[in-house]
Amino acid sequence: MTSMFSSVKMGDLTLKNRVFMAPLTRNRAHNESAVPSGMAKIYYAQRASAGLIISEASQVSPMGKGYVGTPGIYDETQVRGWKEINDAVHAEGGKIFMQLWHVGRISHTSLLPDNQKPLAPSAIRAQAQTYTESGMADVSEPKAMTEDEIKQTIADYKHAAQCAKDAGFDGIEVHAANGYLIDQFIRDKTNQRTDNYGGSIENRARFLFEVLDAVLEIWPAGKVGIRLSPTGTFNDIADSAPEETFGTIITKLNDYNLAYLHMVERFPGIGADNKDIKIIEDLLKLWNGFYIANGDYDAMRAQDAVDAGHADAITFGRPFIANPDLPKRLEIGAELNEPDQDTFYGGGKEGYIDYPFLEDSEAA
């Protein structure tokens, strides 16, 4: 039996447990500068007992922004803000990766420089909404990226990877899941291009692998992970043959010797049917490396997944929002704080840095 609370070697790092913190958008960064707020330093340091923290998704450029109040990782002020956070996490004995993000078509013109149209592989508007300064709004119609814009975006990922390194992160995760830009290139519902970035699976995956090649010029492979969501439909995404599409991608990913593959197996509140579960199981048979599972896991399901060899570690999302000391609570079977969904996105310290630790609850 492999304990969830035993140390584990992942890529170039040794981590203190297998209870990882999932990337969690909280919309509390300074909106104009995209610099993380001062509260974020407290928030992340509080959760440093995780085996690994994967940061909230952070846009690699101003054109990568899709929601109000999300942080960036492309200029010096953002680097300084993140460095303070990383120093605080490290002071508490934690490890933290930066999740690199470009939302593609899941954006609104009001969020982008000069009210430009969002970028996407094809000019197909998503049936989705985003969070703007005026509240929730339908996403804007995107424009199909030119090859020059694709090259520039790949350069943006490389620059962001360097910024993450300068900020003192322990590694990076390339966000290729949940219907955002890289996922939009991968899936045939959103990619209807006829050039070298469309058509065949190999062409649709080209953007992903060119991004990986770019960030690997900055980081060693043992400090780079990738997140995929092969069966996900979030943000109006789909593929006609997900097992074939992602099977091709995962097979090629094996050649990269990355730190890990992180997959969204299911979304909170959305049941995964047997077909989806089988697709994930079949895809994992192709993967040769460290695997992080994500998808509405509780303590028992997580331990069972590790015991069975299904996963090497589990990322927890909402439980980490409400329980800064989640690994300790899970290990001793303590009661968990309930998350307040009304404070998930935006706002101040309430529902962000004021959830009690176990000792605070016992002393009350």
Mean of pLDDT over the chain = 96
| 180: annotated active-site residue | yes
Return the axis-axis angle of helices 38-46 and 76-91, rounded to nearest 10°: 30
Q: Give the range among 75-84, 122-131, 184-193, 268-277 with minimum mean pLDDT.
A: 268-277
**Among residues 361, 283, 294, 290, which one has the least CA distance to residue 328?**
361
Q: Where are the beta strands (DSSP E) in the chain?
A: 8-10, 13-15, 19-21, 53-54, 58-59, 96-101, 119-120, 129-132, 135-138, 143-144, 171-175, 224-228, 260-264, 291-294, 313-316
pLDDT in tens, 51-65: 999 999 999 999 999
Q: What is the pLDDT of residue 362?
A: 59
Q: For the domain 8-363, what is the CATH code?
A: 3.20.20.70
Alpha helix (H) ranges present in 23-141?
38-46, 76-91
Give the count of alpha carbons within 13 A of 284, CB side only. 21
User: Phi and psi of 39, rounded to 5°?
Assistant: -65, -25
User: What is the average per-residue pLDDT within 25-51?
Assistant: 97
User: What is the average per-residue pLDDT within 224-238?
Assistant: 96
Q: What is the pLDDT of residue 23?
A: 98
Instruction: Write down the pTM of the prediction.
Output: 0.96
Q: Could you tell me if 226 and 255 are in contact, meaning their C-beta atoms sit under 8 angstroms apart?
A: no
User: What is the average per-residue pLDDT within 148-161?
Assistant: 98
The active-site residue out of 180, 260, 297, 355 is 180
Q: Which residues pair with 175 in a beta bridge?
A: 227
User: What is the average per-residue pLDDT within 173-187?
Assistant: 98
| Percent of the residues in the chain that have a pLDDT greater than 90, as a whole number | 94
Task: Work out the pLDDT band at 296, boundaries 50, 70, 90.
Answer: confident
**Among residues 136, 103, 99, which one has the least CA distance to residue 117?**
103
First to last CA, the chain: 36
Task: Work out the pLDDT band at 236, boundaries 50, 70, 90.
Answer: very high
